[in-house]
């Protein structure tokens, strides 16, 4: 497998193939909708197939980045096209590749207006998402992070519901506001690194060896953190999310919940924690409390939603609160749980949006009160809906349980009260999800319109089966996935602790390399840097 890795730029393929597909589609006349759809589906399937060697070829005993590629890109800024994966990003890339074909299949009949533009946007979005998760260069990361907004903006704004324009604008501007400050922070890091070490670089692998003085860390953490917190979204930056989710077309909601929100939590893992460990430790109580508020608030608001899609949207706020809580425990269990929960939420909330979309296609309403007693009419639908609902609640045996349990264990180890509050969130989740399920599926079938509902078509079953299969697989056998991330999580925790101590002991010290003995197989950038670096002169 490693030979394959060296000879074939696998990651670049995953990033560029969707863009190439988009280019191909743009050359075909718009009236050949079926052909266009098929091409998009095939491209996304090819990307998924090529993402499998990434998973199986990934060596989970190493902490270093794998499948690395590095080319010169903008020499004037020493910015490089540097990509790679580790245990933190691997599953995210797989999740993206896994969801995309399902989305194309799910929106086969759903999207009728300018199909061509829709498919192009979706494929470009996939390129952007892959790029975000694979980038190891700050400038490259930022470009993918921002560029991804454009297709998503169109997907919400053109193919969305009645209030789509506002929702799209809100989504775009919220995200932009956060990321522009991140840009200033990136520039600051770039020149600060240059001042300290005498060489300029955007390369994350090199920059993460630099220790920032604590007061700088605080500002940088805030600048990065704001843009990630908006993306997650953490309470109180969540207000764009319900709008965007409700107005977006089904496929857009799935991608938004499945992948885009994870970019925020991923950003915390990739940048905020390792680069600014002292600030991260200082902000832990604040972030944890905001995460707890998010958990409870999201759950409470979900309870009173009359609209299915809005309910699922607010449940996202609650679930992402769990992820953030887990990450900021900075314990092994919490981080692993948080990471796994990122995947789980992508699967189960993604599936929920798919299911809501399917029923909306049949009835053109999403109001809970318009349904009731559907279980007998559409049994296959009910079965899928049931499994996904239970997964979202966190029933043992399904994926949600594993993630939430790990998060709670991690939280319990660091702060018992947080764990108690978070657990109540699980209970609320059961309340709102089960109540919703009950009101939609059980009871008497009173509405005339619901008498003739059709059960799932073969296409729709094909969409849901893979998701449900993964939900059950992770639920009963999470170990392979946990193994993939274990070393990276370990490494991250040690990085934070080690570096935080260094700063506290001697704040004016030069950057240090991480003296991990098992890091030998990492390329020796760290060592080189340590030799090159000069003592940090205080300003």
Partner 1 sequence: MVTSQDFYLLSPEIILTLLGFAVLILGLIFPRMYRETLLAIVLIGFAVALLLSTQHWALEPATAFYGMISVDKFTVGFQCLFIIAAALTLLLSMNALEEKYLLYSEYFALIIFATVGMMLMASSAHLLTLFLGLETLSVSLYILAGFRRDDPKALESSFKYFLLGAFASGFLLYGIALIYGSVGSASLTAIAGRLAQPSDATGQDFFTIGVVLMVIGFGFKIALAPFHTWAPDVYQGAPTPISAFMATGSKAAGFAALLRLLLAADIMTEAWWQQLFWVIAVATMTIGNIIALRQDNIKRMLAYSSIAHAGYILIGVIANNETGYAGILFYLLSYTFMNAGAFGVVSYLAKSEQEYVNISEYRGLAYRRPFAAVAMAIFMFSLSGIPPTAGFLAKFYVFSAAVQADYLWLVILGVVNSMISLYYYLGIVVVMFMQAPEGEKMPITPLPAVGVALVIAIFGTLNLGVFPGQWMDKFQTLARSLM
Least gap, CB of 114 to partner 1 (angstroms): 7
* Interface with partner 1 (CB under 8 A), residue from 55, 73, 442, 498: 73
CA-to-CA dists, residue 14 to 70, 91, 116, 495, 531, angstroms: 15, 14, 21, 29, 36
* Interface with partner 1 (CB under 8 A), residue from 165, 386, 427, 476: 165
* Interface with partner 1 (CB under 8 A), residue from 16, 28, 46, 183: 183
Candidates 66-74, 461-469, 493-501, 527-535: pick the segment binding partner 1 (CB under 8 A). 66-74
* Interface with partner 1 (CB under 8 A), residue from 150, 431, 462, 519: 150
Least gap, CB of 126 to partner 1 (angstroms): 15
Least gap, CB of 298 to partner 1 (angstroms): 27
Least gap, CB of 486 to partner 1 (angstroms): 34
188 binds partner 1 (CB under 8 A): yes
Residue count of the chain:
539
180 binds partner 1 (CB under 8 A): yes
173 binds partner 1 (CB under 8 A): yes
Least gap, CB of 139 to partner 1 (angstroms): 8
Q: Which is nearer to partner 1, 180 or 380 (CB)?
A: 180
* Cα–Cα distance measured from residue 345 to residue 343, given in angstroms and rounded to the nearest whole number: 6
Q: Which is nearer to partner 1, 193 or 412 (CB)?
A: 193
Tokens of 313: 């949207």
293 closest CA partner among 229, 337, 342, 349: 229
Least gap, CB of 206 to partner 1 (angstroms): 18
146 binds partner 1 (CB under 8 A): yes
Give residues 325-364 in contact with partner 1 (rule: CB under 8 A): none
Candidates 55-63, 71-79, 375-383, 419-427: pick the segment binding partner 1 (CB under 8 A). 71-79
Q: What are phi and psi of 448, to 5 degrees?
A: -60, -40
Q: Which is nearer to partner 1, 77 or 417 (CB)?
A: 77
Candidates 54-62, 177-185, 403-411, 521-529: pick the segment binding partner 1 (CB under 8 A). 177-185
Q: Which is nearer to partner 1, 117 or 425 (CB)?
A: 117
Q: Which is nearer to partner 1, 72 or 518 (CB)?
A: 72
Q: Using a CB cutoff of 8 Å and minimum separation of 24, what contacts does 510-515 make?
A: 510/196, 510/534, 510/535, 510/536, 511/196, 511/197, 511/209, 511/210, 511/211, 511/536, 512/209, 512/211, 513/209, 514/209
* Interface with partner 1 (CB under 8 A), residue from 75, 448, 452, 535: 75
Apex 334 CA angle, 242 and 525, nearest 5: 100
216 binds partner 1 (CB under 8 A): no
158 binds partner 1 (CB under 8 A): yes
20 binds partner 1 (CB under 8 A): no
386 closest CA partner among 377, 396, 375, 397: 375
Q: Which is nearer to partner 1, 152 or 467 (CB)?
A: 152
DSSP string, 372-426: ---TTT-HHHHHHHHHHHHHHHT-TTSHHHHHHHHHHHHHHHH-HHHHHHHHHHH
Which residues, other chains included, contact 472 with Cβ-Cβ below 8 Å and sequence gap of 6+? 387, 397, 398, 399
CA-to-CA dists, residue 230 to 235, 237, 256, 514, angstroms: 9, 5, 13, 31
181 binds partner 1 (CB under 8 A): yes
Least gap, CB of 159 to partner 1 (angstroms): 10
237 binds partner 1 (CB under 8 A): no
* Interface with partner 1 (CB under 8 A), residue from 114, 365, 414, 415: 114
Which residue carries 């704040």 as its tokens?
Answer: 507
Least gap, CB of 451 to partner 1 (angstroms): 34
Q: What are phi and psi of 422, to 5 degrees?
A: -60, -40
* Cα–Cα distance measured from residue 63 to residue 526, given in angstroms and rounded to the nearest whole number: 14
Size of the site for partner 1 (CB under 8 A): 36
* Interface with partner 1 (CB under 8 A), residue from 6, 35, 42, 191: 191
CA-to-CA dists, residue 340 to 383, 415, 448, 485, 491, angstroms: 24, 21, 42, 9, 17
* Interface with partner 1 (CB under 8 A), residue from 58, 133, 142, 221: 142
Rg (CA), the chain: 23
* Cα–Cα distance measured from residue 421 to residue 309, given in angstroms and rounded to the nearest whole number: 26
Q: What are phi and psi of 16, to 5 degrees?
A: -90, -25
Binding positions for partner 1, rule: CB under 8 A: 72-77, 114, 117, 139, 142-144, 146-147, 149-150, 153-154, 157-158, 164-165, 168-169, 172-173, 176-177, 180-181, 183-184, 187-188, 190-191
């Amino acid at each position: 497998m490693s030979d394959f890795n060296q000879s074939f730029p696998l990651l670049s393929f995953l990033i560029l193939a969707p863009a190439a597909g988009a280019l191909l589609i743009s050359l075909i006349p718009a009236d050949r909708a079926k052909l266009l759809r098929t091409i998009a589906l095939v491209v996304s399937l090819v990307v998924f197939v090529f993402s499998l060697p990434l998973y199986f070829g990934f060596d989970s005993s190493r902490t270093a980045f794998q499948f690395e590629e590095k080319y010169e890109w903008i020499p004037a800024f020493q910015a490089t096209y540097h990509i790679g994966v580790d245990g933190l990003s691997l599953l995210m890339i797989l999740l993206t590749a896994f969801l995309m074909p399902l989305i194309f299949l799910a929106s086969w009949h759903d999207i009728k207006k300018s199909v061509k533009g829709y498919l192009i946007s979706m494929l470009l979005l996939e390129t952007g998402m892959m790029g975000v998760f694979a980038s190891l260069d700050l400038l490259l990361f930022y470009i993918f992070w921002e560029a991804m907004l454009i297709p998503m903006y169109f997907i919400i704004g053109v193919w969305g519901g009645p209030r789509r324009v506002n929702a799209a604008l809100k989504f775009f501007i919220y995200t932009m506001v956060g990321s522009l400050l991140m840009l200033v922070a990136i520039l600051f890091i770039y020149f600060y690194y240059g001042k300290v070490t005498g060489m300029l670089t955007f390369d994350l692998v090199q920059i993460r060896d630099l220790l920032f003085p604590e007061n700088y860390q605080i500002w940088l953490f805030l600048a990065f953190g704001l843009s990630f917190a908006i993306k997650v979204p953490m309470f109180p930056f969540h207000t764009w999310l319900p709008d965007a989710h409700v107005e977006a077309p089904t496929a857009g909601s799935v991608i938004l919940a499945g992948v885009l929100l994870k970019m925020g939590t991923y950003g915390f893992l990739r940048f905020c924690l390792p680069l600014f460990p002292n600030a991260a430790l200082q902000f832990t109580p604040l972030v944890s409390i905001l995460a707890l508020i998010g958990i409870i608030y999201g759950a409470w608001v979900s309870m009173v939603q009359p609209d299915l899609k809005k309910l699922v949207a607010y449940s996202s706020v609650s679930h992402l609160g769990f992820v953030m809580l887990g990450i900021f425990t900075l314990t092994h269990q919490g981080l692993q749980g948080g990471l796994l929960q990122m995947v789980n939420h992508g699967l189960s909330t993604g599936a929920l949006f798919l299911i809501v979309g399917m029923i909306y296609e049949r009835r053109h309403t999403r109001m809970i009160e318009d349904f009731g007693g559907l279980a007998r009419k559409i049994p296959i639908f009910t079965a899928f809906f049931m499994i996904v609902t239970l997964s979202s609640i966190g029933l043992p045996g399904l994926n949600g349980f594993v993630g939430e349990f790990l998060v709670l264990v991690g939280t319990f180890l660091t702060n018992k009260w947080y764990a108690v509050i978070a657990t109540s969130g699980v209970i609320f989740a059961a309340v709102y999800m089960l109540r919703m399920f009950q009101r939609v599926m059980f009871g008497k079938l009173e509405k005339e319109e619901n008498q003739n509902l059709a059960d799932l078509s073969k296409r729709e079953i094909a969409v849901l089966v893979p998701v449900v299969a993964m939900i059950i697989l992770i639920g009963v056998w999470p170990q392979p996935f946990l193994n993939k991330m274990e070393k990276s999580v370990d490494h991250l925790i040690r990085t934070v602790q080690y570096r935080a101590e260094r700063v506290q002991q001697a704040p004016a010290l030069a950057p240090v390399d991480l003296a991990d003995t098992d890091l030998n197989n990492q390329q020796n950038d760290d060592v080189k840097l340590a030799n090159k670096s000069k003592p940090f002169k205080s300003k």
